[in-house]
Amino acid sequence: MQRLARLNEAVQLWRGLEQRVQNALDLADLALQEQDESLKGGLAIEEEGLSRQVDRLEFEQVFSGEYDEREAFLAIHAGAGGTESQDWTQMLLRMYLRWAERRAYRAQVLDLSPGEEAGIKSALIEVSGRYAYGYLKAERGVHRLVRLSPFDADHARHTSFVLVEVLPVVEQDVEVTIDPDDLRIDYFKSSGAGGQNVQKNATAVRITHLPTGMVAACQNERSQLQNKEMAMKVLRARLLEQEMRRRAEEQARLKGDHVPAEWGNQIRSYVLHPYKMVKDHRTGYETSNTDAVLDGEIDELLNGYLLSKVGQTTS
């Protein structure tokens, strides 16, 4: 039913665009006959609007992956470097939350592990909106920061690394089969912000998939049941990602060309000293407006990567 709803939405969108084009053609004929300047002005405005919509729809053709229209889980993990890396993790979390806000997507922090002194060790967020996974899959990989450390007494230059994972949200078990006997479920008190019920009761849930060792946790919801349902949702997404990666590796093996997206293969560098630059190493795209990027203006980076993958098989 969800797939049918998405297809109906797409059909209605294109039919509506077709009708707008026909109306614009009729308006053009009338403007030529009447030589009415006000009609010509209205036609110019409509032409500009149609052009923008067509450009947007044309770009959306890059979302040809099986799960691109889905919502997404985005996980951020601090690398080696202690407080410096944990602060960088928090900066990236803010960047993605601001990006989601700019796109009118809903972003919810599901799990967060605070750092010892500052920043965070890891975070998990769910981003809801059409093509959330299609866009955010461009972000998975290692993100590198170079700056003068605010946590170093000598104010020396430091390099920090953060790993970003992106998973498509799996809505139903038909895509991933999980045997309940393969699960270990632990309940504990939430360590994050929350009401009295969250603070005093064991509402947080951690689910371990014993055959793979995969772990999914949630402590943001108010009830144990809600956290369990969300943790299961995350676990299904992780298992689906594993299967998608297995298929991609098999396809790459058959093609004889495979570069694993693992820790150490940095995809992007953010340099704040001795100069300011953000560079995507996969596409070569660069910008000196680091403040805007860290404030969530990453569409140019995402679009550049997605356009570079057109014609290639992506998960």
- Beta bridge partners, 149, equal none
CB 161 within 8 A of CB 79: yes
CB count within 10 Å of CB 222 equals 14
Which distant-in-sequence residues (6+ apart) come within 8 Å of 194 by Cβ? 220, 222
CB 95 within 8 A of CB 256: no
Q: Is the dihedral of CA 294, 296, 301, 305 positive or negative?
A: positive
pTM confidence score: 0.74
| pLDDT tens profile 94-127 | 999 999 999 999 999 999 999 988 999 999 999 9
The Cα 117–Cα 151 span in angstroms is 10
* pLDDT value, residue 162: 94
* pLDDT value, residue 314: 46
Cα of first residue to Cα of last residue in the chain, in angstroms, is 23
The Cα 18–Cα 24 span in angstroms is 10
| Cα 110 to the center of its chain, rounded Å | 14
pLDDT bucket at 200, cuts 50 / 70 / 90: low
* pLDDT value, residue 125: 96
Smallest CA-to-CA distance from 187 within 223, 238, 234 is with 223
| pLDDT tens profile 218-256 | 998 878 999 999 999 999 999 988 888 887 776 666 545
227-231: which pairs have CB atoms within 8 A and are 24 or more residues apart?
A: 227/203, 228/185, 230/110, 230/126, 231/205, 231/206, 231/207
